[in-house]
Amino acid sequence: MHSKTLLASLLAPAAVSAVLNDLAVRAGLKYFGTALGESAVSSDATYASIVSDNTEFGQLVPENGMKWESTERTQGVFTFASGDISANQAKKNGQGLRCHTLVWHSQLPSWVSSATWTVDALTAVMEAHITNVMGHYKGQCYSWDVVNEAVGDDGNWRSSVFLTTFNGTDYIPLAFNLAKAADPDTKLYFNDYNLEYNGAKTDRAVELVKLVQAAGAPIDGVGFQGHLIVGSTPGRSSIATALQRFTALGVEVAFTELDIRHGSLPAPASAYVTQGDDYANVVGGCLDTPNCIGVTVWGFTDKYSWIPGTFSGQGDALLYDADFNRKAAWTSVSSVLAAKATPAPASTTSSAPGCGSTFATVTVTVTATVSASQDPTTSTSSAPAATQSHYGQCGGIGYTGPSNCGSYTCKVQNDWYSQCL
Ligand code: 9MR
What is the tally of structural domains in the chain? 1
Closest C-alpha residue for ligand 1 atom 3: 306
36 in any annotated domain = yes
Say yes or no: CB of residue 63 within 6 Å of ligand 1.
yes
Sort 184 into a burial class: Cβ within 10 Å, 0-12 / 13-18 / 19+: exposed
Does some domain include residue 121? yes
Closest atom of ligand 1 to CA, residue 148? 16
The 10s digit of each residue's pLDDT in 128-183 is 999 999 999 999 999 999 999 999 999 999 999 999 999 999 999 999 999 999 99
Cβ of 306 less than 6 Å from ligand 1: yes
| Residue spans of the chain under pLDDT 50 | 1-16, 347-358, 360-384
Helices (H) and strands (E) in the chain, counts: 15, 14
Minimum-distance ligand 1 atom for the alpha carbon of 193: 17
Is 397 within a domain?
A: no
Active site residue 207: no
Catalytic residue among 63, 149, 252, 257: 257
Q: Which residue puts its alpha carbon closest to atom 8 of ligand 1?
A: 107
The answer to whether the predicted template modeling score (pTM) of the entire model surpasses 0.85 is: no
Instruction: Check pocket membership of 39 for ligand 1, CB cut-off 6 A.
Output: no
Choice from 105, 107, 151 to test ligand 1 binding pocket (greatest atom count within 8 A of CB): 107
Residue nearest to atom 12 of ligand 1 (CA): 63
225 CB near ligand 1 (under 6 Å): yes
Q: Is the CB of 106 under 6 A from ligand 1?
A: yes
Atom 1 in ligand 1: residue holding the nearest Cα: 306
Is 157 domain-assigned? yes
* pLDDT for res 395: 73
Q: Alpha carbon of 338 to those of 106, 329, 365: distances in Å?
A: 37, 14, 20
pLDDT in tens, 175-229: 999 999 999 999 999 999 999 999 999 999 999 999 999 999 999 999 999 999 9
Query: Which atom in ligand 1 lies closest to the alpha carbon of residue 37?
Result: 4
- Which residue's CA is the nearest one to ligand 1's atom 10? 64
Upstream peptide bond of 266 is cis (omega within 30 degrees of 0): yes
Which ligand 1 atom minimizes the distance to the CA of 100? 15
pLDDT tens readout for residues 231-249: 999 999 999 999 999 999 9
Ligand 1 atom at minimal distance to the Cα of residue 309: 6
* 164 C-beta closer than 6 A to ligand 1: no
d(CA 197, ligand 1 centre) in Å: 20
Indicate whether residue 367 lines ligand 1 (CB < 6 A): no
Q: What DSSP state is assigned to residue 227?
A: E
CATH number at 51 reads 3.20.20.80
DSSP E strand stretches across 347-397: 347-351, 361-365, 393-395
* Residue 369 is assigned to a structural domain of this protein: yes
Residue 323 covered by a domain: yes
- Asked whether residue 410 is assigned to any structural domain, the reply reads no
- Residue-range definition of the domain harbouring residue 339: 15-374
Prior bond of 34 cis (ω within 30°)? no
Q: What is the pLDDT of residue 304?
A: 98
Residue 181 lies in a domain: yes
Contact 224 CB / ligand 1 (< 6 Å): no
From residue 305, alpha-carbon distances to 36, 139, 226, 261, 358 in Å are: 11, 29, 14, 10, 28
